Amino acid sequence: MTTIRLPAGQPPGSVLGAAPDAPEDVEAYLATGGYADATGPDELLGHLAASGLCGRGGAGFPAAVKLRAVRERGGVPVVVANGEEGEPGSVKDRWLLRARPHLVLDGLARAAAVTGAVRGYVYLSDPVAADRVRRALAEREPCLPVEVVETAHTYVAGEESAVVRRIDGGPALPTAKPPRPFERGVGGAPTLVSNVETLARIALIATSPGLRESIARSTLVTLSGGGAAAPVLTEVPYGVPLRVLAAALGVPDAAGALMGGLFGGFVDARALDLPLEPGALTAAGTALGCGAIRFLAAGACPVSTAADAVGHLAAESARQCGVCVSGTAAVRDAVYALATGTAGPDTPVHLDRWSRGLPGRGACGLLDAAAGIAGSLLRSFPEPVRSHLRGPCPGCAAVSSPAGGQGRRLTVAVPEIAGTAVGDGTVPRSPVLKGTP
C-alpha cells in the first residue's frame, strides 16, 4: 500500500496539508483561507511570475507564461484542470482530487479569473476522484460553471490535445500541433490545460503570497522501487539530493533510478547526488517530469525494468502515428531480447540509433519516452547490457512476454483516504518521512 508521509520540516504552504489521509471538506478548506478574495487576478499573475512556478504535469512550463498566453489570445477562454495521470508510477494527481478537491477547484477558479475564462472542466479517469470533485462542487457553488469529464485511463489521455479532443466529444487521443490548446482548444476557444497540482499551488500562492517561493519550489513526489520498500507519496523542497529520497524510501544503497515516471529515463548511482531540481536534472540529461521516481535496489536488474517500461509504452501507443507504432515495438522487442538473453551483438547499436533518431517524430511524448529509456539504459548501465548479450540474469525471469502488460509491475496504488470508498476506508496516520529536509 502506498503511504502518505508528511516530511520533516514540512514546507509552509504545503499541498499535502495537515491531514493528507482524510478528505478535506469545504469548512476545513475555508478555515485555511481558501477561496479568499485577498489577491486579485493581475496581482496573482505577478506573484506567479515572480515565484517562477512551473507546471507539475511533466513539461515544467512556466505557469505565468501559460496563463498570460491564454489571456492575450482573445475570445472567451476555457480552463481545464487536468487530473488524468497516465504515468504508472505516479499517484499525486489522483490523491489531490480525492483528498483536497477544493484546493484544485480554487486554483481552477483563480486561473479562470486571470485568463478571463467563463467555464471550466475537471478532466480525469478515476471514478473515486470524480465523485469527490462532484461532492466538492455541491458543497460550494463555483464562481463559474464547472463540468467533470471522465475518460478511459491510458498513457496518452492526459496529453493536452487529447484532453481537448475528449472534452469536445472525441477520443482521448493526441492531435498534431499547431494549433496548441492555448491557440485553439475546447470548442475552438483559447484553452488553459493545467495539471491539478499546478492549480493547487496557484491557489496556495493566492492565499499566501508571502510564501510564493516556498510554494513554487516544493513538489509532490511518488517514490517507489527498492524491492520490499512500500511506495511513498510526499512533498519535498527543490534541492533535496536524490540519494536522500532513496534512503528515506528505505533504499540507501540504490543502484540508480528511473526518473520522471517513464519520461526521464535511467540514471546510475552517481547521479543520485543530483538535487531534485528541474534545471539540474535537465542539465544532467534526465527530468523530474511528473515527480515519479522508481529507485533500483542494489542488485536489481535495470534491463528487466527497462523491458517493463518499454513494453508498457508499446502497449499504450495511440496507434495514430506509424513511426510510433513501429518505433516503440522495435525498442520493446530489442530490450525484451536483451532481457531474455536472445539479443544479437548488434542490438545495442540499434537501440542507440533509435534513441537518437526517434524523439520528436510522434504526435505526443510516448515515442520520446521509449527512445529515452533505451538511450539512458545504454549510457547508465553499459555493463548489465553487455552481460545480457551473453545470457539473461536471474532478475529477468519475470519478463515473460514482449506484448505488453508489464506496466502492472511499475504501477503504484493510490494511497487510501478515509471516507472515499477505497479499501476498508480506514487509514492510519502516516509517520514523518525521516531524512527529508
Q: Is residue 202 part of a domain?
A: yes
Q: Are residues 155 and 260 in the same domain?
A: no
Q: Which of 262, 296, 330 is a domain's end point?
A: 296
Res 421: pLDDT = 53
What confidence tens digit (pLDDT) does each residue in 63-90 have? 999 999 999 998 999 999 999 999 999 9
Q: Are residues 159 and 233 in the same domain?
A: no
Write out the residue range of the structural domain in which residue 246 sits: 217-296
What confidence tens digit (pLDDT) does each residue in 321-338 have? 889 999 999 999 999 999
Q: Are residues 242 and 284 in the same domain?
A: yes
pTM for the structure as a whole:
0.92
Q: Is residue 306 part of a domain?
A: yes
Q: Are residues 198 and 241 in the same domain?
A: no
What confidence tens digit (pLDDT) does each residue in 31-64 have? 999 999 889 999 999 999 999 999 999 888 999 9
What confidence tens digit (pLDDT) does each residue in 333-357 have? 999 999 999 999 999 999 999 999 9
Q: Is residue 419 part of a domain?
A: no
Say how far apart CA 165 and CA 149 lie, in whole Å: 12
Cα 296 off chain centre by: 19
Mean per-residue pLDDT, 360-379: 92
For residue 141, pLDDT over 80 is answered with: yes
Split into its structural domains, the chain has a count of: 3
Q: Decide: 45 and 68 in contact? Cβ < 8 Å.
A: yes
Mean per-residue pLDDT, 372-390: 96
Mean per-residue pLDDT, 247-261: 94
Q: Are residues 77 and 88 in the same domain?
A: yes
What confidence tens digit (pLDDT) does each residue in 169-182 have? 999 999 988 999 99
Q: Is residue 437 part of a domain?
A: no
Q: Which of 214, 240, 273 is a domain's end point?
A: 214
Q: Are residues 242 and 356 in the same domain?
A: no
Q: Is residue 425 part of a domain?
A: no
Q: Is residue 428 part of a domain?
A: no
Q: Are residues 176 and 231 in the same domain?
A: no
Residue with cell 498566453: 69
Q: Are residues 43 and 186 in the same domain?
A: yes
State the CATH number of the domain containing residue 230: 3.10.20.600
Residues 6+ apart with CB under 8 A from 210: none
Q: Decide: 219 and 291 in contact? Cβ < 8 Å.
A: yes
Res 73: pLDDT = 93
Mean per-residue pLDDT, 23-28: 95
State the CATH number of the domain containing residue 104: 3.40.50.11540
Res 398: pLDDT = 66
Kindly give the pairing relationship between strand 292-296 and strand 146-150: unpaired
Residue 420 CB-half CA count within 13 A: 31
For residue 424, pLDDT over 80 is answered with: no
Say how far apart CA 80 and CA 196 lie, in whole Å: 9
CA distances to 47, 221, 258, 281, 330 from 400, rounded to whole Å, are 52, 30, 21, 33, 17
Distance in angstroms between the alpha carbons of the first and the last residue of the chain:
24
Mean pLDDT, all residues of the chain: 90
Q: Is residue 11 part of a domain?
A: no
Mean per-residue pLDDT, 130-151: 96
Q: Are residues 207 and 228 in the same domain?
A: no
Res 406: pLDDT = 55
Res 320: pLDDT = 87
Res 36: pLDDT = 93
Q: What percent of the chain has pLDDT over 90?
A: 77
For residue 261, pLDDT over 50 is answered with: yes
Q: How confident is the model at residue 268 (pLDDT cuts 50, 70, 90)?
A: very high
Q: Which of 187, 214, 241 is a domain's end point?
A: 214
Q: Are residues 177 and 236 in the same domain?
A: no
Could you tell me the sign of the dihedral formed by the alpha carbons of 273, 276, 279, 284, in that order? positive
Residue with cell 492526459: 158
Q: Are residues 208 and 241 in the same domain?
A: no
Mean per-residue pLDDT, 93-122: 97
Q: Is residue 133 part of a domain?
A: yes
Q: Are residues 46 and 146 in the same domain?
A: yes
For residue 224, pLDDT over 70 is answered with: yes
State the CATH number of the domain containing residue 360: 1.20.1440.230
